[in-house]
């Protein structure tokens, strides 16, 4: 990793929480672990903490590299580090793996101490509301009364909004990127096809595939392939792959012929090796359930009445999964509540994935906003 | 948009002072085509207003963030649908009216969203402009700095034109100031005034 601005070697940490977590679904998680990483120093007044909320396939490894795996850079390493838009020279940055995840925090693959078997299908359904509660408890353990900022893209943007709604005093600034106040029917449809791919895989075994020493690899692979299509734009796919053939000529068979097929299969295979299918199922449900206006007669402005944070909302022009229009509805709700909000629609050809990419204007906007946050 | 995006200090911007004189402290202000946010910064600093800007240009959006100004990236030509009716005390359109395609719509939208509207525009009726036309050329001046072929200004007007427009569109003018540089122009303003300022409301 030749990145002079990188935070360098980082080490994940683990905290155990003994007090039961009452989940939105009604279920109770008796105890749980959160795995997290921190970068930079918490200042004496504990006023410079920035929480990063991850998206569907993300985790706590947000920036830096691991000593035993220097190639494994955090998923937002281009955004976070010394001198970067989210500057670890100023901020104490926290990345946390959400519960239900598969990278260390308690999730479906975790051993259930009651049964001495992995939770599997028994792992309760979680929501952004449950995650927000875990963020509050994590902050408490770290001695942080209020986050200087909470930042998230996509599902992470939803978690950011949820925390700003559920714990208004804990969030001074909220940066909500490529997100939406709720999924559309089309979004939910994509998620359900992904879930069906996993659930109908014969290796799924009702979610208890761990006991069968197997894994619904084919289903997860298909789910990821589908997801990946929706994260890119038609233009960026055309630009990157077009109708280019892998071997240069048509084979008249069902093998990989077009480059896009090769790319998607590779992405699917790679993902299926490192992600847990049950977590994928859970995360898509978290997305589907997110709808803060639901309890307010579908009035998003009423839902945001309790928020107090200052907001930066960003969207990307070619993002059709969470389109700029979806972000504008968030902005409208914030304006209706007289909250401080800035909104930018960033010209980008890379679809929903734009939020993970390095783009000068995008990074400048985040840098400017973050640099004006007093600590 | 033809914002004045100079980063000169507010004391050097007499137009800021003229607008500020019409705005009550601690009110809520929407600045359409807010440029780098300098006017909103000035109003926030001097009158403790709660301000939001609307801008289309990427560079200006960034400048607003650097100026610690709330800014919403949006195209004014598509209206103000993102803003609730009667949600602002003042809606300002400073030196932008003449560059807009949908003049009637934006004035209507200003008075839907705000209790009062404030517009400023270069007076096309200024004698120097008239003189240049008499000499056979399109005017170029400090308030109209563009050549005919690269101007964004498509709807230039005189004081008389704007007042007639207001009369025809149920817009009630509350106050008018005409400035030439830092001086107020009271004598024959349609001939001697360079920059027009109007504060108006919906005629009941």
pLDDT digit string, tens, across residues A238-256: 999 999 999 989 999 999 9
B88 touches chain A (CB under 8 A): no
pLDDT at B14: 80
Q: Which of A312, A328, A368 sits opposite B66 (nearest CB)?
A: A368
Chain B interface, best mutation among A315, A327, A368, by max B CB count within 10 A: A368
Cβ(A156)–Cβ(A53) under 8 Å?
yes
Ranges of residues in chain B whose predicted pLDDT is under 70: 1-12
pLDDT averaged over every residue in chain B? 93
Residue A293 has pLDDT above 70, yes or no: yes
The candidate with the shortest Cα–Cα distance to B180, out of B117, B122, B97, is B122
C-beta atoms surrounding A337 within 10 Å? 16
DSSP A265-283: HHHHHHHHHHS-HHHHHHH
Question: Percentage of residues in chain A with pLDDT exceeding 90?
Answer: 97
The candidate with the shortest Cα–Cα distance to A150, out of A119, A169, A171, is A171
Distance CA A365, CA A343 (A): 10
Q: Which residues of B touch A341 (CB under 8 A)?
A: 52, 70, 72
* Helix axes of A277-289 and A185-199: crossing angle, nearest 10 degrees: 160
Cβ(B117)–Cβ(B199) under 8 Å?
yes
pLDDT at B6: 42
Q: Burial-class residue A243 by CB neighbours within 10 Å (0-12, 13-18, 19+).
A: exposed
Buried b / exposed e over A15-25, threshold 16 CB at 10 Å, is eebeeebebbe
Residue A38 has pLDDT above 70, yes or no: yes
Cβ(B23)–Cβ(B44) under 8 Å?
no
Asked if A369 and B61 come within 8 Å (Cβ–Cβ), the reply is: no
Q: Which stretches of A249-320 are DSSP H helices?
A: 259-274, 277-289, 300-303
pLDDT at A19: 95
pLDDT at B149: 96
Q: Which residues of A touch B84 (CB under 8 A)?
A: 332, 335-336
pLDDT at A3: 56
Q: Which residues of A participate in catalysis according to the annotation? A: 154, 319, 352
Q: Which stretches of chain A are DSSP H helices?
A: 128-141, 155-166, 185-199, 217-231, 234-240, 259-274, 277-289, 300-303, 324-336, 360-371
Residues ≥6 apart with Cβ < 8 Å to A130: A21, A23, A24, A99
Scanning every residue of chain A, which has its alpha carbon at the shortest distance from the alpha carbon of B28? A338
pLDDT at B12: 59
Residue A132 has pLDDT above 60, yes or no: yes
- Chain A (303-362) residues lying within 8 Å, Cβ to Cβ, of chain B: 312, 328, 331-332, 335-336, 338, 340-345, 347, 361
Q: Which of B62, B74, B87 sits opposite A368 (nearest CB)?
A: B62
Distance CA B85, CA B115 (A): 9
Both tokens of residue A122?
A: 């028994």
Q: Which residues of A touch B68 (CB under 8 A)?
A: 372
Residue A220 has pLDDT above 80, yes or no: yes
The candidate with the shortest Cα–Cα distance to B53, out of B1, B15, B10, B12, is B1
Q: Which of B28, B50, B72 sits opposite A343 (nearest CB)?
A: B72
pLDDT at B9: 52
Distance CA A268, CA B197 (A): 61
Distance CA B133, CA A313 (A): 47
Distance CA A152, CA A179 (A): 9
pLDDT averaged over every residue in chain A? 96
In tens, the pLDDT along A67-116 reads 999 899 999 999 999 999 999 999 999 999 999 999 999 999 999 999 99
**Tell me, what's the ipTM?**
0.94
Distance CA B123, CA B198 (A): 12
| Beta strands in chain B, from DSSP E residues, in sequence order | 28-32, 50-55, 70-73, 88-94, 114-122, 171-180, 183-184, 195-202
Q: Predicted confidence band at A349 (pLDDT cuts at 50, 70, 90)?
A: very high
Question: Percentage of residues in chain A with pLDDT exceeding 70?
Answer: 99
pLDDT at A4: 60
């Amino acid at each position: 990793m030749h990145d002079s601005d990188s935070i360098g070697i980082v080490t994940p940490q683990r905290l155990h929480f003994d007090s039961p977590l009452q989940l939105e679904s009604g279920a109770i998680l008796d105890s749980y672990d959160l795995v997290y990483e921190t970068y930079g120093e918490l200042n004496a007044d504990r006023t410079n903490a920035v929480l990063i909320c991850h998206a569907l396939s993300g985790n706590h490894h947000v920036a830096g590299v691991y000593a035993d795996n220097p190639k494994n850079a955090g998923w937002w390493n281009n955004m976070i580090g010394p001198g970067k838009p989210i500057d670890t020279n100023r901020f104490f940055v926290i990345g946390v793996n959400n519960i239900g995840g598969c990278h260390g925090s308690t999730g479906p693959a975790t051993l259930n101490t009651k049964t001495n078997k992995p939770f599997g299908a028994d792992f309760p359904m979680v929501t952004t509301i449950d995650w927000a509660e875990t963020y509050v408890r994590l902050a408490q353990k770290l001695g942080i009364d209020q986050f200087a900022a909470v930042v998230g893209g996509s599902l992470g943007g939803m978690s950011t909004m949820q925390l700003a709604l559920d714990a208004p005093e804990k969030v001074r600034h909220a940066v909500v990127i490529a997100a939406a106040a709720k999924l559309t029917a089309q979004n939910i449809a994509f998620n359900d096809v992904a879930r069906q791919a996993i659930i109908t895989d014969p290796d799924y075994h009702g979610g208890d595939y761990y006991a069968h020493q197997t894994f619904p690899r084919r289903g997860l692979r298909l789910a990821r392939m589908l997801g990946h299509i929706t994260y890119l734009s038609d233009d960026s796919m055309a630009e990157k792959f077009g109708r280019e053939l892998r071997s240069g000529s048509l084979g008249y068979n069902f093998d990989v012929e077009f480059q896009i097929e090769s790319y998607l299969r590779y992405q699917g295979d790679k993902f299926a090796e490192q992600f847990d299918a049950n977590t994928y199922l859970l995360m898509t449900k978290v997305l589907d359930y997110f709808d803060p206006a639901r309890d307010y007669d579908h009035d998003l402005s009423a839902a945001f009445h309790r928020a107090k944070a200052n907001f930066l909302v960003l969207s990307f022009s070619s993002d059709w999964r969470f389109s700029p229009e979806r972000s504008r509805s968030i902005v409208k709700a914030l304006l209706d509540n007289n909250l401080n909000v800035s909104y930018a629609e960033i010209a980008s050809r890379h679809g929903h994935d734009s939020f993970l990419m390095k783009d000068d204007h995008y990074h400048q906007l985040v840098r400017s906003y973050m640099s004006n946050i007093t600590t | 948009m033809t914002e004045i995006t100079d980063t000169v200090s507010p004391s050097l911007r007499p137009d800021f002072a003229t607008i500020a004189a019409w705005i009550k402290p601690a009110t809520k202000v929407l600045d359409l085509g807010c440029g780098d946010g300098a006017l909103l910064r000035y109003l926030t600093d001097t009158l403790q207003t709660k301000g939001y800007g609307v801008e289309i240009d990427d560079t200006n959006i960034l400048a607003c963030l650097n100026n610690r100004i709330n800014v919403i990236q949006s195209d004014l030509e598509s209206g103000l649908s993102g803003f609730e009716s009667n949600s602002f005390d003042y809606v300002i359109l400073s030196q932008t009216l003449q560059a807009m395609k949908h003049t009637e719509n934006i004035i209507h939208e200003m008075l839907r969203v705000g209790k009062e509207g404030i517009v400023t525009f270069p007076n096309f009726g200024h004698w120097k402009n008239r003189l240049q036309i008499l000499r056979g050329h399109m005017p170029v001046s400090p308030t109209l700095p563009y050549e005919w072929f690269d101007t964004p200004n498509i709807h230039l007007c005189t004081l008389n034109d704007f007042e007639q427009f207001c009369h025809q569109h149920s817009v009630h003018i509350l106050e008018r100031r005409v400035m030439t540089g830092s001086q107020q122009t009271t004598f024959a303003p349609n001939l001697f005034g360079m920059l027009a300022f109007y504060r108006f409301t919906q005629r009941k």
